[in-house]
Structure 1
Amino acid sequence: MSLIPADRFRTFAPKATAGTREALEAAAAANGFSGLVLAHWLGQTFVESAGFTTREENLNYSVDGLLKMFGRHRISEADARKFGRAPGRPAHQNAIANIIYGGEWGRKNLGNTEPGDGWRFRGGGEKQITGRANYREAWHEHDPDTLRTDPVASARAAANFFVKHGCIAPALRDDVKGVTLKVNGGTNGLDARIAATTAAKKVVGL
């Protein structure tokens, strides 16, 4: 039996492509994901990728959205007003990425060491892998765009992150909050992650 049955997956993620499902299934099989682990992985990646519809982080934040999401320790109010989305003006996503993922915070937390690394290594793939160090771990430090465009590379990186960053143990406990802390570093979008994981359990037959 398929790990991720096509008919159930279509109900779960109606906007996802068949190629995405196949890539997810191959990555799950390669990493031995099944049962609760597979359900939690699918639930988390569903939220991270907006229902498997994007592999690239959307940084089109409003001024208030930037300050609320990242805080003034990551972006000043002046920079938020300069680069954030405003009436009649889209956000300057390149500049935003280099600010929020750059500087000392980016060096310490993401391994971003070069000018432009914030944008170069912005969120990519189903997991929204972020930062030079995490792209290196996902085998795409030297070709970051691949992670944002190729479904096989994206799914493989998402599964690798789930294993390497301690997500298996809380998944086996059916602890969505615990998995979210490992995936997100906080509890951003927890309600959506709970709902997606509950739906993903039906996909895998739980």
Structure 2
Amino acid sequence: MAAFLAVTAQNTADFTTLTENLNYRSDQLLALFPFSFNAEQAASYAGNPEGIANHLYANKFGNGDEASGDGWRYRGRGLVQIAGRDLYRRAGQPLGIDLVNDPDLLADPTVAARQALNDWQSCKCSAISDSGGITAIWRYVNGSSQVGLSTVKRRYDTYLQQLRAAQTPGSN
């Protein structure tokens, strides 16, 4: 439970948003996505969330090219911020929801929770977490990016302490 809360809190700015914030300055683009933006591109895309998404997610995860608009259409949403046409398709199938044709459904709190819990169970993340694998779970959710990992680890430790305290008799 602590791992699930840590990952989802990190990806939703402490549960305040279910849609990826792509409103970056040029220095942020270069720091976060050094393989996707050079200095000139970062300057031209800065402050343009739709353009950033279309550039960043072009030809990835089943998306079309930058001009297709798929990057923006299938930007990160939900508690685990899935991105890309293929992931939206896979996420919606077990729920019986067509997220490809209605991607905004993943920004609905109920749909987001169902999708995240289904994904968590299917990847057996609880077993990974129980063996101390918060880093492996973060990699599963975020791919190779380690951005945010140190914060996720701190969140995990905090949630773990709070959950253990809540289970200890007389701790309330």
Shorter-chain TM-score tier = 0.7 to 0.9
Q: Which runs of 5+ in 2 are unaligned?
A: 93-98, 168-172
CA shift, 1:166, in A, is 5.2
Q: 1:112 aligns with which of 63, 67, 71?
A: 63
Structure 2 equivalent of residue 171 of structure 1: 129
Q: Tell me, yes or no, if structure 1 residue 76 matches structure 2 residue 32.
A: no
Q: Tell me, yes or no, if structure 1 residue 101 matches structure 2 residue 60.
A: no
Structure 2 equivalent of residue 13 of structure 1: none
Structure 2 equivalent of residue 19 of structure 1: none
For residues 176 and 187 of structure 1, the distance between their equivalents in structure 2, rounded to whole angstroms, comes to 12
Identify the structure with bigger relative contact order (alpha carbons < 8 Å, sequence gap 6+): 1
CA shift, 1:175, in A, is 1.8
Report if aligned partners of 2:91, 2:115 keep a CA contact under 8 Å in 1: yes
The amino acid of 2:48's aligned partner reads: H
Structure 1 equivalent of residue 115 of structure 2: 157
CA shift, 1:164, in A, is 3.6
For residues 88 and 71 of structure 2, the distance between their equivalents in structure 1, rounded to whole angstroms, comes to 12
Structure 2 equivalent of residue 122 of structure 1: 75
Post-superposition, which runs of at least 4 consecutive aligned residues in structure 1 deviate over 6 A? Answer: none
CA shift, 1:163, in A, is 3.2
Report if aligned partners of 2:5, 2:156 keep a CA contact under 8 Å in 1: yes
Identical-pair percentage? 35
Q: Tell me, yes or no, if structure 1 residue 192 matches structure 2 residue 155.
A: no
For residues 52 and 190 of structure 1, the distance between their equivalents in structure 2, rounded to whole angstroms, comes to 17
Q: Which runs of 5+ in 1 are unaligned?
A: 1-37, 85-90
RMSD: 1.8
The amino acid of 1:154's aligned partner reads: A
CA shift, 1:199, in A, is 2.4
Q: 1:63 aligns with which of 14, 23, 26?
A: 26
For residues 51 and 124 of structure 2, the distance between their equivalents in structure 1, rounded to whole angstroms, comes to 32
Q: Deviations over 1:73-120 (max 9, x none)?
A: 322322211111xxxxxx1110110000003xx1xxx11136111000
Q: TM-score, normalised by structure 2?
A: 0.83
For residues 146 and 106 of structure 2, the distance between their equivalents in structure 1, rounded to whole angstroms, comes to 24
For residues 78 and 62 of structure 2, the distance between their equivalents in structure 1, rounded to whole angstroms, comes to 18
